Amino acid sequence: MNVEFYSLLGVILKTEILRVDPVSIDLNKIQKAAKILRDGGLVAFPTETVYGLGADALSPRAVEKIFKVKGRPPDNPLIIHIGDKLELEKLAKNIPQKVEVLIENFWPGPLTIVLQKSSIVPKIVNAGLETVAIRMPSNKIALSLINESKVPIAAPSANISTRPSPTSAKHVINDLNGMIDAIIDGGETNIGVESTVIDLTTTPITLLRPGGVTFEDLQKILGKNNIEKSKYNPDEKIAAAKSPGMKYRHYSPKADVFLVEGKSDRIELKVQEIATNFEKKGYKVGIITINQKHQYQADTVEFIGSDLETIAKNIFKTFRKFDNKDMDIIIMEGVKEKRLGLAIMNRLRKAAKKIIQV
């Protein structure tokens, strides 16, 4: 649908697919992609969290294309990806001391830090805020691309806005083929949910978005009282939000998602009850379970793992798989909000049409 829309505007592109083996990186292909970025083009690339859609962060025209092709609201700021911590000083100012310990423990990796922005960051990148979000990814292809391009890379997830984040090049092709210059296919991403975003301009530090680095690990490094979860409730309209991205519906498959939380045996009964009700009405129902013992009857039942790492890795992929099977309804079991479970539940709640507690 989007490709057609863009072809109407006369901007359809030939998207080049560059296959790169993550264990033996072909530098020629990386350099080709880096040149596209330097020339103001868009390149999707793998990171350890999800695939990112990159543009030269210092070029407002290049960054504008990201918002256009994704259909991303302009008030939802982007994360800037860097390959060397020295870049921090160019992009941010008044950097607090505690950045050091965070970098030492979590970079490169799935931790994004929000700092006061420097004057070189174009307004469009951070939606006119006084702050900028920065991360150094650990994926070798991503690092190589950033370093070869020699510019900081603004990159949100490489999906159409509101759709589930892409964890493989195939997902990016489905959403953005014909709309961007190139896609680096470096296989499936490791973590499967986005980076953790923390705001260092507040005391204590605020967790704005749970992600690949857990709140517990941050507490361990920073001290228990030096970081707190954001009190911002995305359902409230008072959204002079610290992190505007938090207020949007996200990560959603086309089907309506029902999230069932509570005790495991009660979850099993409730999930089946909802599934049966919808099937009686003629809907196609898919169930996503994290408990192999749960016996469900539905059009499709998918067990996506029982440990948090495997669940995180599979969740967006399974949403997309169910979309391809034209499911009308997806019923998903909740997890405990501990460790990576906090990030998983954050994504599930945003994807859900209805949350049912049992």
**Chain positions contacting ligand AMP, by CB under 6 A:** 76-79, 114, 126, 129, 131-133, 156-157, 194, 197, 208-209, 242-246
As beta bridge partners, residue 332 has: 259, 288
Per DSSP, 157 falls in state: B
CB of 128 to ligand AMP, least distance (A): 10
Q: Which stretch binds Mg ion (CB under 5 A): 28-36, 102-110, 152-160, 337-345?
A: 152-160
The whole-angstrom separation of Cα 307 and Cα 274 is 25
126 binds Mg ion (CB under 5 A): no
Render the burial of 17-56: b for 16+ CB within 10 Å, e for the rest. ebebeeeebeeebbebbbebbeeebbbbbbbbbbbbbbbb
CB of 157 to Mg ion, least distance (A): 3
User: In what order do the strands lie in the sheet containing 285-289?
Assistant: 300-303, 285-289, 329-333, 256-261, 354-357
Residue 171, classed as helix, strand or coil, is helix
CB of 275 to Mg ion, least distance (A): 29
- Amino acid, single-letter form, for residue 289: T
CB of 156 to ligand AMP, least distance (A): 3
CB atoms within 10 A of CB 294: 18
Q: Considering the complex, state which of residue 230 and residue 289 has its C-beta at the smaller distance from ligand AMP.
A: 230
CA 35 to chain centre: 25
Q: Considering the complex, state which of residue 126 and residue 139 has its C-beta at the smaller distance from ligand AMP.
A: 126
Q: Which stretch binds Mg ion (CB under 5 A): 21-29, 63-71, 142-150, 153-161?
A: 153-161
CB of 208 to ligand AMP, least distance (A): 5
CB of 200 to ligand AMP, least distance (A): 10
- Binds 244: which of ligand AMP, Mg ion, none (CB < 5-8 Å by kind): ligand AMP
- Binds 192: which of Mg ion, ligand AMP, none (CB < 5-8 Å by kind): none
- Binds 197: which of ligand AMP, Mg ion, none (CB < 5-8 Å by kind): ligand AMP
CB of 299 to ligand AMP, least distance (A): 31
Element (H, E) at 257: strand 256-261
29-59-15 Cα angle (round to 5)? 40
Q: Considering the complex, state which of residue 42 and residue 298 has its C-beta at the smaller distance from Mg ion.
A: 42
Closest-CB residue for ligand AMP? 245
Q: Considering the complex, state which of residue 193 and residue 330 has its C-beta at the smaller distance from Mg ion.
A: 193
Strands 131-135 and 79-81: parallel
157 binds Mg ion (CB under 5 A): yes
Which has the closest alpha carbon to 110: 87, 132, 81, 88? Answer: 81
Contact status, residue 245 vs residue 209, Cβ threshold 8 Å = yes
Q: Considering the complex, state which of residue 9 and residue 240 has its C-beta at the smaller distance from ligand AMP.
A: 240
CB of 220 to ligand AMP, least distance (A): 23
Contact status, residue 299 vs residue 178, Cβ threshold 8 Å = no
Q: Considering the complex, state which of residue 159 and residue 289 has its C-beta at the smaller distance from ligand AMP.
A: 159
The whole-angstrom separation of Cα 287 and Cα 297 is 9
Cβ contacts of 209 within 8 Å, gap of 6 or more: 112, 194, 195, 196, 197, 243, 245, 246, 346
Q: Considering the complex, state which of residue 156 and residue 186 has its C-beta at the smaller distance from Mg ion.
A: 156
Q: Considering the complex, state which of residue 29 and residue 250 has its C-beta at the smaller distance from ligand AMP.
A: 250
149: its two tokens: 């391009």
The whole-angstrom separation of Cα 88 and Cα 40 is 22
Q: Considering the complex, state which of residue 102 and residue 158 has its C-beta at the smaller distance from Mg ion.
A: 158
CB of 152 to ligand AMP, least distance (A): 13
243 binds Mg ion (CB under 5 A): no
Strands 79-81 and 92-93: unpaired
- Binds 196: which of ligand AMP, Mg ion, none (CB < 5-8 Å by kind): none
Q: Which residues bind Mg ion (CB under 5 A)?
A: 156-157
